[in-house]
Amino acid sequence: MSDFEVLLDENPEEINLFTITLQRHVTHHPNIQLLELKGSTIGHKGAEYLATALNKNKCIKHLGLARNNINNSGAVAVLKSLVGSDIETLDLEWNGLQDPTAFQLAHLIDSTKTLVAVTLERNDIRGEGAVAIAQALATNDTVRNLNLGFNKVTTLGALKLGDMLAVNNTLLTLNLAMNGIYPDGARSLAEGLSKNTTLRSLNLQSNQAIDAFADMGAAMKYPTSLRELNFSSNRLQSQLAVGFANGIRSAKGLIGLSLSKCG
């Protein structure tokens, strides 16, 4: 009897037959490269045991675990198993993940030579977790897309993410929508963006960030690489509107600008 079958006998509510079949498939097909499990409800136990299979299969390039309720224990186990793998895209959206997951992700980013895109949208990543991710990205030259939308990185995380933007020459898209980012943190993002040369898309929807960009006026230098900028639901103060207009003139490559609900 396999470990999975023993677990199923002892705790049938914690793991299902789908997960047993999945683990066997991943183990017995070591060349599988794409594994998409969005909404499969494998839970944290399922993720932990899936990680045992991923330790044997280092060819996975895409792993989608969005909306699986894997929590920190499952996510940390999976991320550990991906060290040394060929992983390129990783989707962990809406799994109840917190800073321990962010710390382990930072370790993966530090060690990876292949990771290109990470989605952590709609979790509970906070300031310290965002700091760890930002510090890892400051020296990373593979990750091009990071989605941290709908977390809680707040000012602490925004400060370090701004520092990261100032030195990172790889990241193309950064989603920080609805993260409790206030002017102090937003100013760091603005200053970092002014020194960046590669970012194409920045999403700051539903924060309180636009005033910091506007307050810099003509000193705000947007990179010519920037194509999309989203400030919707940021509430621009009327007295700073001219400053924002003066700054945005430097965004020569911009083709998409969202200012909805900023009035």
Please write the tens of the pLDDT for every residue from 167-180.
999 999 999 999 99
Note the pLDDT tens digit of each residue in 152-210: 999 999 999 999 999 999 999 999 999 999 999 999 999 999 999 999 999 999 999 99
Q: What is the mean pLDDT of residues 59-74?
A: 96
- Average per-residue pLDDT for the chain: 92
| pLDDT, position 48 | 92
What average pLDDT does the segment 20-41 reach?
Answer: 79
Three-state DSSP class for residue 221: coil
Contact between residue 163 and residue 188 where contact means Cβ atoms under 8 Å apart:
yes
| pLDDT value, residue 56 | 86
Higher pLDDT, residue 170 or 28? 170
From 19-33, 122-136, 160-174, 187-201, the region with the lowest mean pLDDT: 19-33
Strands in the chain per DSSP E? 34-36, 62-64, 89-91, 117-119, 145-147, 173-175, 201-203, 228-230, 256-258
Q: For residue 60, how many other CB atoms are within 10 A of its CB?
A: 23
The answer to whether 103 and 131 are in contact (CB under 8 A) is no
Question: Higher pLDDT residue, 38 or 3?
Answer: 38
Query: b/e map of 62-87 (b: 16 or more CB within 10 Å)?
Result: ebbbbbbbbbbebbbbbbebbeebeb
Give the whole-number percent of the chain exceeding pLDDT 90. Answer: 83
For 110, counting Cβ atoms within 10 Å of its Cβ (0-12 exposed, 13-18 middle, 19+ buried), the class is: middle
Which residue, 198, 154, 211, 147, is CA-closest to 175?
147
CB of 188 closer than 8 Å to CB of 195: no
